[in-house]
Amino acid sequence: MTLPHPDTDQITLPNVLAALGDDTRLAIIGCLARTDPLEGLVCGQFCGLTSKTNLTYHVAKLREAGVVKVRPEGTKRRVTLRREDLDRRFPGFLDTVIATAVELPQVEATLRQLHEETA
């Protein structure tokens, strides 16, 4: 089962801005920006941010806006940033957002948690 994603040229700025104008979702982006772009993260790794159910909701918002790609892997969902697509559509935009998003306290906390679990 593949999830619906907008084509590159169907990504609109109002949608992207609305998707990013939320603390939880901005934190998700910040986390993704600080991990291997190809690897991404699976939903469960954001559990420090909010509940499982709520993550489903927020990740779907980001996916529908065209900000992230969600690829099923068994029972997991691998989430990656659509960097190239966003760069082509709104050159420079993602970089400036990321530059600030990576420093959000929620992002620090979530990533620290992940590191501890890995160790």
Partner DNA sequence: GTCCTTGTTCAAAATTCATTGGACAATTGA
Partner DNA sequence: TCAATTGTCCAATGAATTTTGAACAAGGAC
Applying CB under 8 A, the residues found at the interface with a second copy are 13-14, 17-23, 26, 90-93, 95-97, 99-101
Residue 92 binds which entry of a second copy, DNA, none, CB below 5-8 Å type-dependent? a second copy
The single-letter DSSP state of residue 47 is T
What is the binding site for DNA (CB under 7 A)?
18, 22, 24, 42-44, 50-61, 70, 74-77
Torsion of CA 43, 44, 48, 50, to 10 degrees: 60
Rounded to the nearest whole angstrom, what is the least distance from the CB of residue 105 to DNA in the complex? 15
Q: Exposure of 19 by Cβ count < 10 A (0-12 exposed, 13-18 middle, 19+ buried)?
A: buried
Sign, CA dihedral 96-99-104-107, equals positive
Rounded CA-CA distance 112/37 in Å is 18
Which CB atom, from 70 or from 94, has the smaller least distance to a second copy?
94
Residue 105 binds which entry of DNA, a second copy, none, CB below 5-8 Å type-dependent? none
Residue 50 binds which entry of a second copy, DNA, none, CB below 5-8 Å type-dependent? DNA
